[in-house]
Each structure stands twice: as structure tokens, then as C-alpha cells.
Structure 1
Amino acid sequence: MSDVQAFAAEIFNSQPFTRWIGAELVSVGSDHADIGLHVSGHHRQQHGFVHGGVLSYLADNALTFAGGVALGGDALTSEFKINYIRPARGGYLMARARTIGKGKRQAVCQCEILSNEDSGSHLCAVAQGTIISVAVPAD
């Protein structure tokens, strides 16, 4: 495991909400991050589709990891926008984010969220966001 992967895994595993929702850091590299989620009943809304908040969480976290790694450290989302393309019906979701541009303190990233269904993998949402580098104060 590389230093980048170890750093990302440490941060990912320290997020209580991430553990609660059941997400997994599938892949991380110098400018990208993939986050997966096995869909359970509590992830769905009243029509049986995966709740939009779950898709939004995946986009936000994948964007931030892709941007944070590209910026070389800890990061936060400054803003992001999500477009829901089609309902997510499948049993597994994959958020694939990549950095499309970066400066010293911020990165712009894009993310696609795919839903694996019986008929194949389908694009269900796309997002774009600005990620900022942060310095965590010492205790």
C-alpha cells in the first residue's frame, strides 16, 4: 500500500458517518478516488430507489478524496453540485471521482455515480465540486 493509499484509508476509516452508512474506499490514486456502497434497505426511499442523500454523500466524499489527494493533504468540500440522471435501483453503487484542475489550495473535481443493476451498470448521477486544502490545528 502506498503512502497516499494509507493516508486516505486512515482518514476514510476515521469518519463515523462513513462507517455507519457502510461505504468502502475502493481505490485512490494521485488524482482520483472510487468509493463503493452495498445498498441495504435503509439506503432506500419510499419508492424503492436509493435515497438522493446517499448519492449526495457518495459524490461529496469521492470528490473530497480525489481533490484532497491531488492537493497532497487533508481537505474539505467548499461547494458541489449534483445532477440526478436516473433513479438508482441496484444493489451496489460506485462513485468515481477525478481531479480535473488544481492550484495550490483548491482543486476542481468531477464524479460519476454508477448503479449496478440486473441490466448492467447505469449512470445515475454526476457531480462537480471545489475542494480546498486545510491545515488541521495541533491539539
Structure 2
Amino acid sequence: MLSVSEVNELLKQEEIFNFIGIEFEKLEKGYSRLKFNFNEKLTRIGGILHGGVVFSAVDYAGSYAVRTLDKVKDGVTAELKINFLKPMKEGPFTVEARVISEGKRLVVVDISAYDGNSNLCAKALGTWVVYRETNSETQLSS
């Protein structure tokens, strides 16, 4: 499993990651937590965080919770549903993702997004298709 600093360094290659200002804080098996600060460039008219920004952060958190699982080398989002519960106006924002079901090819993740006052502002449920190391890849890396 990659460390938090390795993931943050790796994702600096992605413009959207940099634009939002995401930084992962914690990665454990089946869990991830990231944070990002309020920035007016991320808001919609009315000064609240744009839903697309929230969705992107939720997707990153879910993806990296999945990638912490045993022998997962990659995963792609198959489905992601989000409920926006409260406007996100005050940062820093926190997004936490927890794997709730793990199959051979599909993983389901529960994701929560909070504002700077710890208010639950968005709740998501997503499914990822995972690509795992094969036995030959595991043997080669040992």
C-alpha cells in the first residue's frame, strides 16, 4: 500500500487534484481521509462549494479507500451516487471513505463530506471495479 505522502506526490500529476487543493491525511486498509481548503475559485454563484468539486473529492476519497485493499493495483468508479445535505461554505473540508463491502471484482464504499464545523454536508455511496495483482505479479515482487 502506498503511503499518504506517496499518494499526495503521485496525484500532483493530476490537474483537478491540484486545482481543488486536495491533500490526503490518512490511509488505512479500507479507509481514506482527505482535506482541502475553501477557495472562491471552487464556488458556484452564492459562494458555496460547487457540487462538481464535492463530487470530485468524494470520488478521490472512495478510489483511494479501495486502493488500500489487499492486492488491489487499480480501481475505477462504476457508480457513484451523492446526496447534498447542506451547503459547504466554510472549510477546511474533510472527506472520509470506508469500504463497506468487498467482492472479487466490485467494492462498495460509503463516503461522507464535512465542512469546517464538522457538519455532514454530503453523503455518497459508490461502487468500484477493482483490478488485483495476479499470483505471478505477487511472486515477481516478492
So what's the TM-score if we normalise by structure 2?
0.83
Matches within 5 A, 1:112-131: 112-116=112-116, 120-131=117-128
Identity of aligned residues (%): 26
Residue equivalent to 1:31: 30
Partners of 1:97 and 1:18 in 2: CA distance:
17
Give the structure 1 partner of residue 45 of structure 2: 46
Asked if the contact 2:8/2:23 (under 8 Å) is kept, the reply is no
Q: Which runs of 5+ in 1 are unaligned?
A: none
Count of residue pairs the alignment pairs up: 130
Larger Cα-atom Rg: 2
> Which residue is equivalent to 1:133?
130
Report Cα offsets for 1:6-65 as digits up to 9, x if no partner: 664454333232122211111111110111111111011111111111111111111111
Unpaired runs of at least 5, structure 2: 133-142
Return the alpha-carbon distance in structure 2 between the equivalents of residues 60 and 74 of structure 1: 14
- TM-score, length-normalised on structure 1? 0.85
Give the deviation of 1:103 after TM superposition: 1.2
